[in-house]
Structure 1
Amino acid sequence: MSDLSRRSVLRAATGAGLGLLAAPALAACGAGPTKAVTGGPARISLWTHDPGYIKTFQSAVGDTSLMKGSPFDYRMRFTNAAGSDVVTRMMAQAVADGNTPDLAGIIVDQFPRVMGSRIAENLFVDLSETVRPFGDQLLKLAPYSVDKIPYGLDSDNSISVLYYREDLFEKHGVPADVETWHELAGLGERLYAKHRISLGMVATGDNGSIVNGFLQLLLQRGGGAFDSAGNLTLDSPEAVEVLEFMAHGVRTGFLMSLPDPYGSSCAAALKSGRLAATVMPNWYNVYGLQANVPDQKAKWRIRTLPRFSGGGHVASTLGGTAFCVLKDKPNTQASVELLRRVYLTREGQLLRYRSGGFLPTLKPLYEDAELRGVTDDYLGGQRVFDVYGAAAADLPIFYQAPGMQVLIDVMGGPVLRALQGKTSAAEAIKDGIRAYRQQVKR
């Protein structure tokens, strides 16, 4: 497709209500050469919301063993912006034929913005051939695929596990190896009745936190919001079961209601010991626990999730950021090659884990001797890949669709009302689906 045709498609999408801003270019430098760079110096422009990715790519291009044999001599230009701004400004620049990045880091909840109106197709490189050699050994392609075509590679497996205070579990006689949620909920109810200690949390603040907490458990149970074709699958017994489980947990005190998993209320609950366990992804170790309760070092541990009696998985997933390559730019070939080295090689995945704690997205690495020997001081010297390996082998697939952000907006209220006991789980699911259907005709 010509540049003119591509801009026409993007302008049409803008007119359809995607809310693009006429924002200035994120990078002030010129557009550079028009001829494709096939070797030698390649100055790659990368936009991201997280300094951790800047550190990762800086380390990668300076790693002579990782870059050995590359036809490109990489130099990086970084722009740091809010996650939503990365997408908004990238699309605005594409419409204006402006200065788009070579590599864009797109948060998982922002990717649905490019899934409709052929936006991803017109902006990003189709990575099908790049990932084909890995088959089903490469995880987390689904959230960044449109019509089964992958357009981004995730930076982290974002494996959700159960974090728990080993000292409090031992003090109050809660076994760390409880097999099912039903058993843990029973223990949690009694623990709350005697000591006002909860073994999990639900979010009651913004729609994103509310629905993400629900979806995290729904994925574990074997359900989901959408299927691989983008069809809504929320009308299911699993969705009702999970929401009923969460609402019952709130009523009994087994689960603590908090505005969000990261704010001051959660920090206070952690510091006081009133929150002794929680389901969250691997990155919560640093961004949730170590950030809020560094003094609780060596008291926390992780394990795979208790099973739902009706089936499902021993793990779940929440969050993530994929890097996408902008197509038809001078540095497109160089950017694909850089992404391949950093994201699809053993050396690159180990570098990403060492530099930012990003879990591998290649299944075989969970059996890698170097990673299996990793211990975590904050988690009391625990060999964390013993847990992550078992979890990665049974990780649910998370599918998205263009209407994902609409679904989050309309489901937040009904889910919250169910958690507060103001409506039943079944009615909440029906109310959310009804509101979604009114806005998304599919």
Structure 2
Amino acid sequence: MLRLGGGLGMAGLLGGALTGCGTGRAAEPVTSGTVDLSFWTHDQVYYDFFAAAAEHAEAAGSRFHWRLHLTQASAQDVVTKSIAQAIAGRGTPDVAGLEIGSFTRLLRGDLAAELLEDLTEDVAEVRDDLLPMRTAPYTKDGRLYALDSDAPLCVFYYRKPEYARLGISPDFASWEEVLDVGERLYEREGVSLGAVAVGSELGQVVQVYEMLTMQRGGRFFDEDGELSIETPEAEQALDVLVRGVQSGCFGTVSDFYGPAMQTALKTGKVISVPMATWYKVYGLRNNVPEQEGEWRIRSLPVFPDGGARTSFTGGTGFAALRGKENTLAGVELIKAGFLTPQEQVRRYVEMGYLPTRRSVFDDPSLSDIEDDYCGGQRMFQVYREVIDEAPVYYLSADRPVLDTVLSGYVLRAYHGDLSPREALGRAADDFRGQTRS
């Protein structure tokens, strides 16, 4: 039941039991002084960032002195164990990093409101400056429950020396041109201009497809959390991927991080990757560090019928658990790390994570930073050029169901068993059948 993330009956089971860690009443909050803060995350880099942010805030006169105590677990387990400990009435984190795919589990019923502190008023002074596409995923019933650590824009990575060796240009005007060049390149050299995941990780199977759907102007769910895949935009995006896979323009790998992808990158069988900003670190630099200096980025090729030059995929929202002695201290730590312009700049400089305040994109110091892995390219200039085109991303509590049914039909479309329209129609029917109750 916990792994289902508070499934259809879990919200009712929890009721008000989560408030104050199951005591039924909120604890008296600590308002200043030294605080031992329980900090849960799936990635050590977040702990390191917040530890430094705490020192900077204290030097600037913060009323709190935070001592962070790290618990590191998988992204799924951070949510699962937070719910489990809340039910047990003890041992919940004070601050938790909630990966966006796992955060969907807290959208069921009143789980988010019961478990997490409402940050709506805490961001009131800067709300108009926060990127709405990064607050929408963590908002339910008009209330904001987490602040995103990144604005992971999607760009087109390409390996410059290989493009030059093969006599092709990365200046594609559209996805149609990518498909045309990619088909001829694969026939001649056995080299692909992109990749899709076809393995057992269902979120990765649909990841690139959702990225292109949002770029085209569609989305999996609308603002009200209703399914929205039976649209011309969703069909066009899937059609691009299907034609790319069947022509060899896009190679197939089990996932974007494991041995298959590493081999494809090392051997030059895949020389481009449309993916989010964080992929440089977790996908390229980790897999092919020896290719430092060879990669570049550009905006995504466009669809002939409209859309943007970028999209979004990924993200992690940080939230404070409500009703605890350290709730206020947790909120203040998140604000210190994620709302000040200085920390937003530092986050990009040290972690490569983009600002979530729009005004920070105009900071000239960021545009001048040269990236060694990408051959000294001033990558932020690309991000600055497309940020205002980025689509708003909406979540639904039923997202895990959609990943399950849609991934299978996407694979069938790749295989040629179904047309894109048929695949999406059947996925929608199955989804509604499984979520009707």
TM-score in terms of structure 1 length: 0.91
CA contact (8 A) 2:97 2:319 kept: yes
Within the candidate set 146, 162, 165, 1:168 is matched to: 162
Within the candidate set 171, 178, 199, 2:172 is matched to: 178
Residue segments in structure 1 that go unaligned for 5+ positions in a row: 1-11, 21-32
Shift of 1:72: 0.9
Residue in structure 2 matched with residue 43 of structure 1 by the alignment: 36
C-alpha distance in 1, partners of 2:251/2:9? 41
Shift of 1:210: 0.8
Residue in structure 2 matched with residue 147 of structure 1 by the alignment: 141
Q: Over aligned residue pairs, what C-alpha RMSD do you find?
A: 1.9
C-alpha distance in 2, partners of 1:217/1:189? 19
C-alpha distance in 2, partners of 1:409/1:224? 17
Within the candidate set 100, 124, 134, 1:132 is matched to: 124
SS of equivalent to 1:257: strand
Residue in structure 2 matched with residue 249 of structure 1 by the alignment: 244
For 2:55, give the aligned amino acid: G
SS of equivalent to 1:142: helix
| Superposed CA offset, 1:303-354 (max 9, x none) | 0101111111111111111101111111111111111111011111122223
Asked if 1:204 corresponds to 2:211, the answer is no
For 2:65, give the aligned amino acid: D
SS of equivalent to 2:39: strand
C-alpha distance in 1, partners of 2:208/2:66? 40
Within the candidate set 297, 301, 310, 2:296 is matched to: 301
SS of equivalent to 1:63: helix
C-alpha distance in 2, partners of 1:39/1:260? 46
For 1:128, give the aligned amino acid: T
**Larger deviation, residues 390-399 vs 346-355:** 346-355
Residue in structure 1 matched with residue 82 of structure 2 by the alignment: 90
Residue in structure 2 matched with residue 336 of structure 1 by the alignment: 331
CA contact (8 A) 1:156 1:360 kept: yes
Within the candidate set 20, 35, 56, 1:63 is matched to: 56
Question: Relative to 1, partners in 2 of residues 1:267 and 1:15: Cα closer, same or farther, differing over 3 Å?
Answer: closer
SS of equivalent to 1:79: strand
Asked if 1:117 corresponds to 2:112, the answer is no
Residue in structure 2 matched with residue 101 of structure 1 by the alignment: 93
Shift of 1:382: 0.2
**Larger deviation, residues 172-181 vs 230-239:** 172-181
Within the candidate set 258, 264, 268, 1:269 is matched to: 264
For 2:353, give the aligned amino acid: F
CA contact (8 A) 1:147 1:229 kept: no
SS of equivalent to 2:240: helix
C-alpha distance in 2, partners of 1:73/1:262? 38
CA contact (8 A) 1:120 1:151 kept: yes
Within the candidate set 415, 428, 432, 1:420 is matched to: 415
Shift of 1:81: 0.8
C-alpha distance in 1, partners of 2:59/2:192? 49
SS of equivalent to 1:174: coil
CA contact (8 A) 1:160 1:279 kept: yes
| Superposed CA offset, 1:72-110 (max 9, x none) | 111111110111111111111111211211111111000
C-alpha distance in 2, partners of 1:232/1:292? 36
Asked if 1:194 corresponds to 2:188, the answer is yes
CA contact (8 A) 2:179 2:243 kept: no
Within the candidate set 359, 363, 370, 2:358 is matched to: 363
Residue in structure 2 matched with residue 75 of structure 1 by the alignment: 67
Asked if 1:289 corresponds to 2:260, the answer is no
Residue in structure 2 matched with residue 432 of structure 1 by the alignment: 427
Asked if 1:383 corresponds to 2:378, the answer is yes
CA contact (8 A) 1:142 1:148 kept: no
Shift of 1:34: 4.6
For 2:255, give the aligned amino acid: D
For 1:73, give the aligned amino acid: H
**Larger deviation, residues 100-109 vs 344-353:** 344-353
Question: Relative to 1, partners in 2 of residues 1:92 and 1:15: Cα closer, same or farther, differing over 3 Å?
Answer: farther
| Superposed CA offset, 1:205-237 (max 9, x none) | 122111112111111111101111111111111
| Superposed CA offset, 1:395-435 (max 9, x none) | 11110011011100111100000011111111110111111
CA contact (8 A) 2:320 2:331 kept: yes
C-alpha distance in 2, partners of 1:335/1:251? 50
SS of equivalent to 1:429: helix
CA contact (8 A) 1:55 1:355 kept: no
| Superposed CA offset, 1:43-71 (max 9, x none) | 2111011111111112112225x751211
SS of equivalent to 1:164: strand
SS of equivalent to 2:9: helix
* Residue-pair matches, total: 418
SS of equivalent to 2:286: helix
Question: Relative to 1, partners in 2 of residues 1:17 and 1:125: Cα closer, same or farther, differing over 3 Å?
Answer: closer
CA contact (8 A) 2:7 2:108 kept: no
Question: Relative to 1, partners in 2 of residues 1:322 and 1:13: Cα closer, same or farther, differing over 3 Å?
Answer: closer
CA contact (8 A) 2:405 2:431 kept: yes
CA contact (8 A) 1:157 1:358 kept: yes
C-alpha distance in 2, partners of 1:422/1:132? 51
For 1:152, give the aligned amino acid: A
SS of equivalent to 1:393: helix
C-alpha distance in 1, partners of 2:117/2:220? 26
| Superposed CA offset, 1:361-387 (max 9, x none) | 111212212211111001000001111
CA contact (8 A) 2:175 2:240 kept: no
Residue segments in structure 2 that go unaligned for 5+ positions in a row: 14-25
